[in-house]
Amino acid sequence: MQAKGKWALAIGFVALILLGLRLLLVSGESDKDLIQATIREAIEASKEGRSGGVLEQLSRSFTFNEEQTWDRNQIAQVIKNSKPEVIIFNMEPVISGDTATVISRAQVKGQFVFAPINLEIPSVKIELARGTEMRYGILPKKKWRITSITAPGLTGTEFMPQ
């Protein structure tokens, strides 16, 4: 094979690899679908007591009612011990660039501290931010994470051990 043919083959091979990587990087899911999947995954992991599954959906700078009063260990303990069942009645996000907001009525049930609770929350605001995570250790993938939850009337102590 001549030198020109080898170069053409090498360039074609590199182009094919780049095209394959591009296809891997482009998620076929819409932002709306990814946001709803993030919330559903957090709810399912919570119900099963899988704290890691919940923490994976939360931003490292997660806040509750605009305060960073809970550290990740406290959140993990509440999830493991209480296995809260959360129902979000409307998961329709309003997306603005790299942020999104879901406002909905919600219900939280579970065994917290020493007493069961069943809270109806008329308006919960869930805020999310778009970022990336690594797939296969090297390929970036779009990922939405929950940055804050605002639930007027709740302090958060309803869920924490005394």
Instruction: For strands 58-64 and 139-150, give the pairing.
Output: parallel
Residue 10 CA to residue 120 CA, distance in Å, equals 63
| Whole-model pTM over 0.75 | yes
Domains of the chain: 30-150 (3.10.450.50)
pLDDT at 136 over 80: no
pLDDT digits (tens, 9 = 90+) for 52-78: 999 999 998 899 888 776 788 888 988
DSSP readout, 59-75?
EEEEEETTB----HHHH
pLDDT digits (tens, 9 = 90+) for 71-99: 888 889 888 988 999 999 999 999 999 99
